[in-house]
Structure 1
Amino acid sequence: MPSPKLIPLVLSDAERASLEALSRKRTASQSLAGRARVILACAEEGGVAPLTRVAARTGLSRESVRKWRVRFVERRLDGLGDAPRPGAARKITDEQVEVLVTRTLTEKGRGQDSHWSTRSMAAETGLAQSSVSRIWRAFGLKPHVVETWKLSTDPEFIGKVRDVVGLYMSPPENALVLCVDEKSQIQALDRTAPCLPMLPTTPARMTHDYVRNGTTSLFAALDLASGSVIAQPYRRHRHQEFLRFLKLIDTAVPNGLELHLVLDNYATHKTPAIHQWLLKHPRFHLHFTPTSSSWMNLVERWFAELTNRKLRRSAHRSVTELETDIRKWINEWNKDPKPFVWTKSADEILETLAAYCQRIIDSGH
C-alpha cells in the first residue's frame, strides 16, 4: 500500500531558532542535536520533505525519522526529549551535566592545574568521580590528552606542496620517483639480561635498562610505484655520505629512467659538492618538501615500519650486528614490497591548514 501523505511540518520562527541552536550547541546531547537536525530537514520543501531523503541526509533509518517527526508534530519541542525510563530516578540533572561539560571545555583546571582530572572536577562540581568519568566518556572528552601539530613557516610552502603532491598523484612517465631521507642515530641497544620469550597468558619480557653499543645512520630511497627500497647504512650522515648514496642510486637504477627525488631541506642535501655532482648527472631532479613538513616524505612512513617491526624490540651487541640485521630486514621487505599510496590532493591539504589557521585566529591566542 502507498505510504500515507505527510502532514506538513511548519515551524514557527521561535521553534526554528531553538532547533538551529540545539543542532549547533557543542554542549548539547548529540542525540538531541541529531533529532533537531531531523526536524529541520523535515521542515524543508514546504514541510513535506520525503522521509527517505531526510534519512539519507541525517544518517538515521527511515523509521527513526518518522518517529521523531510524529513526536514533534504531536508535542512540538517537548517531543524531542527522551521518555522517562523505568528504574531509579536520575540523580544528576541536565543542568549539572551541561555545567560540567561547559567548564571542561572552557576552563583549564582547578587552581593552577594545566587541565582537569576526574578528582579535581568532582571536588569542584560536587559530583562523584565516577560520574565525572562517565559524563566525559559520553561526550568524548579527554582533558589529559593533547595532540601536537606544527605549521611550516616556509615562504614557498604552497608551491612545494603542489610540486610534491603533484609528483605523488601524477608521476611523470619514463621516470622513477624516489622518496629519500636519512634515519640518523639508530642505536645498537642490548638488554642487560636475556629477553624472556612469550608464554601462554604471559607476554614476552625484557629488562627496562639497556646498554648502548654505538649508533649508525640509514640512508633510504623508497620507490613510490613499487614500494621497494634502496638503502645503505653509514656511520655518519654528512654530505659525503649523501653523495655516496646518490652514486649508489645512480648505479642501481637503469640509465634510461629519469630520477625524481623527494627530499627535505637538510643542509647536507644542498652543499656545493652535491650541486656540482647533480650538474654532471642531469637525470636527477630534486623536489624539496617545505620546512617542518617531514610528513610529506613517504619514506618517513617506511621508517616507521622499520622501527615498529624490527628496531623497537631488537637487541644488538654491536653496530655491525645492527647494520646486518637491518640489511636482512630490508632484503625481506624487498621480496614483497608494499607501496604507500598518497590520497590527499594539494587543495585538500591547503584547505585543512587554512582551517587550522582560522581556528588559531578565532581562539584569540
Structure 2
Amino acid sequence: MELTPRERAELQALVYSPDVTATVATRARIVLWHAEGRQKKDIAALAGVSRPTVDLWLGRYATQGIGGLLDLPRGAGREQVPARVRARVLALSRTSPPTSTRLSHWSSREMAAFITRTDGVSVSHHYVAKLWRDNGITPYRQGMFTVSKDPEFAVKVAGVVGLYLDPPGGAVVLSIDEKTQIQALDRTQPLLPITCDATEKRTHDYMRHGTTTLAAALNVGTGEVLGECVPVRDGAQFLTFLQKAVAPHGGRTCM
C-alpha cells in the first residue's frame, strides 16, 4: 500500500488526536505500519489484535478512506413519523402560527408540542429541527421590506425587469454599487508583529482621518472594473459616475 503525503499526514493526525479513542488511533497505526512494508502478522502483534482484524481495517481504509477507520455514531433508533405528519410539519412551518397558539413565530419545541396536541402523534423537537435543516426552513427568522413612495415605481420596475427578460442585442451589462462612509483609520501605535508564541497586537484606540465613498462598476462580460473614490456622496455625484461608466461604450445600450 502506498500513501500520498496528504494521506500519511491525515493518518498521523488521527494517531495523535486527543479527540479519538485509542482503538481508532490503533487502526490508523495499522495502516501506517502496512504502508511501511511490515508484514501483517507483525502488525497484528504490534497492535495486539488478530490477523483478520488487520485485514478488516486495511480493507476499510482501501474502500472508504480515513472515514472507514472511525466508529459509527451510536444512539437511539430513528424516529418513525408518518409521512402525513411530516408533510403537515413542513406545511405549518411555512405559515404563521394559528391565532390559538398565541405565538408570533414557530420554534422547534412549540411545533413539536402543537403536532402532538392536534394530530395525536408524538414527535420530538429534535425531529422538527432536523426537518427544518434538511429543507432549509427558518421560521424563527424575520425579514424587512419597504414600500416606495415613488408613484412611478411600478413602471420603473417593469422597465428594468423587461431589460433582463428581453435585452437588446449587443447590450453591455454593468453591475454598479457604492460603499459609503468608508473610514480611514490609523492606530495610535505601530502594530506588534506575530511571534512564535503570540498573535499580532494592536492598540484599542485609533485616529480618524476622514471618510470617503467608493463607487464601482463591473463589466459583467469582460470583468473590467471602473472605480472612483469621492469625499461626498450625493445624487449628482452618483449620476456623474454613471456617465463615466457608460462613456467607454459609446452608443451601446448599457444595463
Same fold (TM over 0.5): no
Query: The TM-score by the shorter chain falls in which range?
Result: 0.3 to 0.5
TM-score (norm 2): 0.42
* Greater Cα radius of gyration, structure 1 or 2: 2
TM-score by length of 1: 0.32
The structure showing larger relative contact order (alpha-carbon pairs under 8 Å, at least 6 residues apart) is 1
